[in-house]
Structure 1
Amino acid sequence: MNLSSLHRRHVLGLLLAAPAAARAQLRSAEELENNPRWLQQREALFARRPIVEDEALLSLQAPARAEDAAVVPIAVRAGFAQGQGARVRRLVLVIDNNPSPLAAMVELGPASGRADLETRVRIDEYGFVRAIAELDDGRLVMSKRFVKASGGCSAPPGKDAEAARATLGRMRLAVQEDAPPGQPLRAQLMVSHPNDSGLVMDQATRLYTKAQYVRNIELAYAGQRLLAAQVDFSLSENPHLRFWLRAEPRGGELLARVDDTEGRHFEQRLQLVA
């Protein structure tokens, strides 16, 4: 067999193999999209209710490859202000391949100005991060991003244990001061807490640190509920939450209440003036 015949047979083999390779890639994408962990979470949270993906209604921003798997910034953005033809009553954050995939479930109250949230999370394996919004008419809308990151849930803390204990529970509330009149105000909550996952090994003792993390966050403004969140250790050390509140002409008190898995309770108040 001459070289020309070998070349033709090689090209023919490539052509025949191409559809098989494409099918394999398609199967791989479907397996990632419909992996068992996500399907289990989906069934537990939403049963068989339909979920649509519509970036005009809901978008999720996350890096394609994280610089630090223990501190991955994400942002969930709704395509409308609360009450403008639709309202988001609940936001759910799922990280498919984390040991505890349900990272946050956030109920939004009447004081919420926009269904937009920003935070930082841990990601343990390559996989999808998903944000699912439940609208007040019962529709479910999802946005997802595939993030390349690993080891975030077992990464050592940024602070040593003594320093973390010294500042544990300290909170800071801050609110945007230059918002246009009548527009929602951007605000943020920062909590000093190790948010230990229980998956980090102490290199000196070779024992795993005890799991202790922020479990509940409640925010209220001017006597009305802003949000109530159930969260997990998938949130990074020193949990951070950026949110929006509905401006009140007479101002009011912004109140943050935080509970952790050890039964500790923390509060912070900030008085806003008109």
Structure 2
Amino acid sequence: MRMSHRATAALAGLLLTGLAASGAARAAAGDDVAEREARWKDLRQSLFGDRAVETAKPLVRMDLPDRANDAALVPLTMTMTDKDRIKGLYLVIDDNPAPLAAHFTFGPAADPEELKLRIRVNTYSNVHAVAETQDGALIQTTQFVKASGGCSAPMGMTDDEAMKGMGDMRLKFADPASGAASPGATDSGKPIAATLMIRHPNFTGLQMNQVSREYTPARYINRISVTYGTQNVFVMEGDISISANPVINFALRPAGKGPVTVVTQDNQGGRWERSFDVPAASH
């Protein structure tokens, strides 16, 4: 049954009130290790079933602020210490309304040594990066972050303004001449660093428009596919925990031929595609 706009707004309001109350309670007990472990145990079972999730010798190092300056734009760097073993990466923000923020699957054209992106953190929460190895093992890293209201923070503009240019994409490559952000990129076989920027509001469904005073329906990127020629670089399946206007820093192996093609999709059926030429490496 399709709900009216008013009913949808009322439901969003009730959900937001409940989330705020439960978030405040969790924040008050945010340093309770036992509570956080119990939450993760439930999430782990929901996401991975009976598969073991190891903690020894983590394969991912996370760089996150201990306390977020802006809970809607929290910078995250994930460094893979044994990149050739990793075929996928799960990013879980335990106490967000939708805890599974992103699932990356790496292809043969990826150089998965480092990923950078910006996330929303709704309350005091553990953040888990779970690496999946080529042989199917799951190995986790955990960091605790203090934040508040990242998923309900308003955009600070009208919905129309936030959606202007939605789907526009840019892809910047490190300067091969300077080697900036990609040491050794001028040498054959070295990874090529890239920064992907996508125009999209990533509405969470929990944000009140400050002009209309109504809750904006959820509209967020749920899939990004990047290919280099005929080879996959990565696929990211995402949810509302990825910040508005996503920026993703990644690297690809230079052996591919042809353009880098990015296909972005959202939960409302939006689809955008664009191809970018890769600068030739000097020898």
| Fold similarity call, TM over 0.5 | yes
Of 234, 237, 254, the residue aligned with 2:241 is: 234
Q: How many matched pairs?
A: 242
2:132 and 2:250 mapped to 1: Cα distance? 17
1:135 and 1:115 mapped to 2: Cα distance? 14
Amino acid at match of 2:38: N
Tell me the SS of whatever aligns to 2:34.
helix
Regions of 4+ moved over 4 Å: none
Of 166, 169, 183, the residue aligned with 1:168 is: 166
How far 1:238 moved relative to its partner? 0.4
In structure 2, the partner of 1:117 is 115
2:165 and 2:113 mapped to 1: Cα distance? 30
1:273 and 1:188 mapped to 2: Cα distance? 14
Unaligned residue ranges in structure 2 (runs of 5+): 1-28, 180-184
Tell me the SS of whatever aligns to 2:44.
helix
Q: Is the 8 A contact 1:222 1:253 kept in 2?
A: yes
In structure 1, the partner of 2:195 is 188
Give 1 or 2: higher strand fraction: 1
Q: Is the 8 A contact 1:192 1:239 kept in 2?
A: yes
Q: Is the 8 A contact 2:68 2:147 kept in 1?
A: yes
Q: Is the 8 A contact 2:129 2:140 kept in 1?
A: yes
Percent identity over paired residues: 38
Of 38, 58, 64, the residue aligned with 1:35 is: 38
Of 80, 83, 96, the residue aligned with 2:82 is: 80
1:269 and 1:71 mapped to 2: Cα distance? 27
Q: 1:247 to 1:151 in 2, by over 3 A?
A: same
Of 228, 243, 248, the residue aligned with 2:250 is: 243
Q: Is the 8 A contact 1:184 1:245 kept in 2?
A: yes
How far 1:158 moved relative to its partner? 4.4
| Cα RMSD for the two superposed structures | 1.9
Amino acid at match of 1:266: W
Q: Is the 8 A contact 1:173 1:269 kept in 2?
A: no
In structure 1, the partner of 2:96 is 98
Q: Is the 8 A contact 1:108 1:115 kept in 2?
A: no
Write the deviation string for residues 70-115 of structure 1: whole angstroms up to 9, x where unpaired. Answer: 0000111111343xxxx21110000000000000011111111124
2:141 and 2:160 mapped to 1: Cα distance? 39
How far 1:117 moved relative to its partner? 1.4
How far 1:116 moved relative to its partner? 2.3
In structure 1, the partner of 2:154 is 156
Of 186, 205, 223, the residue aligned with 1:216 is: 223
In structure 2, the partner of 1:137 is 135
TM-score (norm 1): 0.83
Amino acid at match of 1:35: A
In structure 2, the partner of 1:267 is 273
1:219 and 1:158 mapped to 2: Cα distance? 30
Q: Is the 8 A contact 2:156 2:210 kept in 1?
A: no
1:96 and 1:208 mapped to 2: Cα distance? 24
How far 1:54 moved relative to its partner? 4.5
In structure 2, the partner of 1:8 is none
Give 1:3-18 correspondences, 5 Å limit.
none
Of 250, 258, 262, the residue aligned with 1:256 is: 262
Q: 1:166 to 1:202 in 2, by over 3 A?
A: closer
Unaligned residue ranges in structure 1 (runs of 5+): 1-24
How far 1:45 moved relative to its partner? 2.0
In structure 2, the partner of 1:61 is 63
Q: Is the 8 A contact 1:251 1:273 kept in 2?
A: no
Is 196-205 or 124-133 further displaced after alignment?
196-205
Tell me the SS of whatever aligns to 1:244.
strand
How far 1:130 moved relative to its partner? 0.8
Q: Is the 8 A contact 2:204 2:220 kept in 1?
A: yes
Residue 202 (structure 1) aligned with residue 217 (structure 2): no
Tell me the SS of whatever aligns to 1:64.
coil
Tell me the SS of whatever aligns to 1:257.
strand
